[in-house]
Structure 1
Amino acid sequence: MYGMIIRVTYYWDDQMGPFRAAPAGIERRDGPALAIRAIGGTLQRMGPIETVPARNWIAAALDSGRQAVAAGRDRPGLSGELVYGILDFCHQAVRDREDLPEWTPEAESRNAACVEAIAFAQRCVRGDE
């Protein structure tokens, strides 16, 4: 038993591996705007957040972010790596909301919302979103 190596694989890692080197392009494009779009799109796919104070706080934060981006006041230096991480967190939020019986690549690949969350992240990294 000792010395045994167990490899844990996640659907995100399997599907996003080829995109791992792409975040530098995100940084040069529109990282802050992309992060705002990714979070907003994820919230739309997830449906309403039940906790009103949390829902209001998130809505206000997104509105503030959208205003900053529109006015050119978005935070400079938001790295592509950070935006990639935000996309991963968006995927995790969708996966959590789907209440899968297990977190395996097989279970996620059979769930339409998880598959779409990955496809959305891939489109974002490619610049198609």
Structure 2
Amino acid sequence: MYLWKQEMQSYRDRLQSIPPFERLAIAVSVMDWTLAEMGQIQPGVVSEYIASSMQKAHEAVGSGVEKLTISDEMLDSWNDVDDQAEEAGTTHIMSAILACADAPGGLSGEVLYGVLCFCYEALRERFEESDVGLEAERRSDKCVEAISFQKARIIDFL
């Protein structure tokens, strides 16, 4: 996360200038890309939760709303599902989904910043080398690619 924070800090305040429904579109596109980069998630309750939530996220973006709405049942089951998220990166993706759904006033710039961080962390954890820290992240193609993709998505909306 060292590299992500260093590279993305200058975008933090700028995210608030993007309309909330567009912030949700950015969040969903980054989550989609992150999931694609992560590859197959083992079948089970975690992958089903993520797939169902992402379907709702696409519906929300298609409707032009400002936040992801998932059922109270899904929100209530988050902790139980997360307890089963042993596969690298899945807890971070689930946290990104929860952040999008737990935004009463719409997806703020600060919440979007957090979602982007969760997505980066999902990939960093999924493809983590034995080395950790800023230099290890700089050498990681996945880390660098994730930051480049996120910046490009933000710039598309600024």
Q: CA deviation at 1:29?
A: 6.2
1:117 alignment partner in structure 2 = 146
- Aligned partner of residue 127 in structure 1, secondary structure: helix
Question: Matches of 1:28 and 1:56 in 2, distance apart?
Answer: 27
Task: Identify if the C-alpha distance between structure 1 residues 29 and 22 changes in structure 2 by more than 3 Å, giving closer, same or farther.
Answer: farther
- Aligned partner of residue 54 in structure 2, secondary structure: helix
1:1-129 equivalence runs, <5 A:
10-27=2-19, 30-75=22-67, 77-127=106-156
Q: After TM superposition, which residue ranges in structure 1, 4 or more long, deviate above 4 angstroms?
A: none
Unpaired runs of 5+ residues, structure 2, are 68-104
Name the larger-Rg structure.
1
Contact 2:2 2:134 in 1 (8 A): yes
Task: Identify if the C-alpha distance between structure 1 residues 17 and 72 changes in structure 2 by more than 3 Å, giving closer, same or farther.
Answer: closer
The two structures have a TM-score, normalised by structure 1, of 0.82
The two structures have a TM-score, normalised by structure 2, of 0.68
Question: Matches of 1:113 and 1:15 in 2, distance apart?
Answer: 14
Contact 2:15 2:109 in 1 (8 A): yes
**Aligned-residue RMSD, C-alpha:** 1.9
Structure with the higher fraction of residues in helix conformation: 2
